Amino acid sequence: MSALFQPLTLRGVTIPNRVWMAPMCQYSAEPEGPGTGTPNDWHFTHLAARAAGGTGLILTEATAVSPEGRISPYDLGIWNDAQVEAFRRITRFLASQGTVPGIQLAHAGRKASTDRTWAGGGPLGPDARGWQPLAPSALAFDERHVRPTELTHDQIEEIVGQFADAARRALAAGFEVAEIHGAHGYLINEFLSPHSNHRTDVYGGSYENRTRFARDVVDAVRAVWPQDKPLFFRISATDWLEEDGWTAEDTVRFAADLQTHGVDLLDVSTGGNASGVRIPAGPGYQVPFAARVKAGTSLPVAAVGLITETEQAEKILANGDADAVLLGRELLRNPSWARHAARELGADVHVPHQYHRSV
């Protein structure tokens, strides 16, 4: 029996298979006006196609908890009720296809206020719909990015509250899984790593202090997220730095901490917090980091990173390296990857009646 197409139950939610869609920014929301940050026809079509293709869990792109928490002016957000109503259309359709709808809650920190990737992804100033980024320390990500404003204690508490408010809205919008984005050099990751966090107060310095903001966010979200619904946390398991960075050992330690705070699965990625580093990218290159967490804790994990082939994905799960796989670019290329993989493995997966001729 295929490991890839076994259901997985976390708390009160059963995900029908282990083929999941990773969050991928589409940079397609309206940048200003009443539709700012609101999902539109593009987002519906993009997510609905992968649900019709048999994907077990779909996580939205990084969805900002505040306007200044967006990576770009074109990102999705969930800071107002109009956004909630637009998301309901998406979650209803995903659920109708047997797919579990999930949302990734995010704040971009010092990597905020940038252009769309196909326009170069450079920083945007106020004259180009940009804004002043916020961060744990006033350290720019690289030479292109602006120097962010260091957060005050009051601002930190406000952002923690914004994550909780976003989780409440996500529940109202029909999401069954919430994921906190603590990876890729965005705000929570910036607090975790000594590379980007040079604070000398209770939010900086020691491991305990640098992880405080992340724990505060998790606690605030878990307090409003129903006990029968799972909470995920996405982490960059390493900064890929030889020194003065977040490490794989830190990740294993933190995974155990997160579990005690009510996190149900760790979504294990890497990198994004330090510019100019060399990352040995290749098929499944991040899977060993997920495997380390799984071996060192009892927290379920999902693996991501150049997972493209059916046999590759099946082997990751069969070997016990992860509990699920998250596909990104491969699902952009092939929205029905799950259906094709099920056929190869002799497994069952949801097929819409309208597509019965494809079986």
**83-116 residue pLDDT tens:** 999 999 999 999 999 999 999 999 999 999 999 9
Q: Is 186 tagged catalytic? A: yes
Which pLDDT value is given to residue 168?
A: 98
pLDDT at 224: 98
Task: Name residue 152's amino acid.
Answer: T
Q: Cβ(203)–Cβ(212) under 8 Å?
A: yes
Task: List, for residues 18-76, the tens digit of each pLDDT value.
Answer: 999 999 999 999 999 999 999 999 999 999 999 999 999 999 999 999 999 999 999 99
Domain ranges of the chain: 8-358
| The residue to which tokens 């077990």 are assigned | 56
**By percentage, how much of the chain surpasses pLDDT 90?**
97
Beta pairing class for 231-236 and 134-135: unpaired
Specify whether the CB–CB gap between 293 and 314 falls below 8 A. Answer: no
Query: Which CATH superfamily groups domain 8-358?
Result: Aldolase class I (3.20.20.70)
pLDDT tens digit sequence for 285-337: 999 999 999 999 999 999 999 999 999 999 999 999 999 999 999 999 999 99
- Region 266-280 average pLDDT: 96
What is the Cα 338 distance to its own chain's centre?
A: 20
Q: How many helices (H) and strands (E) does the chain have?
A: 11, 12
- Give me the mean pLDDT over the 3-15 stretch: 98
pLDDT, tens digit, 9 for 90 and up, residues 63-83: 999 999 999 999 999 999 999
- Residue 5's pLDDT is 98
User: What pLDDT score does 356 carry?
Assistant: 86
Give residues with Cβ within 8 angstroms of 208, minimum separation 6. none
> What per-residue confidence (pLDDT) applies to 357?
86
Q: Catalogue the E-assigned strands of 163-300.
A: 177-182, 231-236, 265-269
Quote the CA–CA distance of 189 and 194 in Å, as a whole number. 10
Catalytic residue of the set 27, 74, 186, 203: 186
Asked whether the predicted pLDDT for residue 339 surpasses 90, the reply is yes
Confidence of residue 358 (pLDDT cuts 50, 70, 90): confident
pLDDT of residue 227: 98
CB 276 within 8 A of CB 293: no
Compute the average pLDDT of residues 181-205: 98
Among residues 49, 6, 101, 90, which one has the least CA distance to residue 352? 49
pTM, entire model:
0.97
Q: Which of 75, 71, 87, 2 is nearest to 32 (CA)?
A: 75
Alpha-carbon span 193 to 191, nearest angstrom:
6
Asked if pLDDT for residue 359 goes beyond 80, the answer is: no
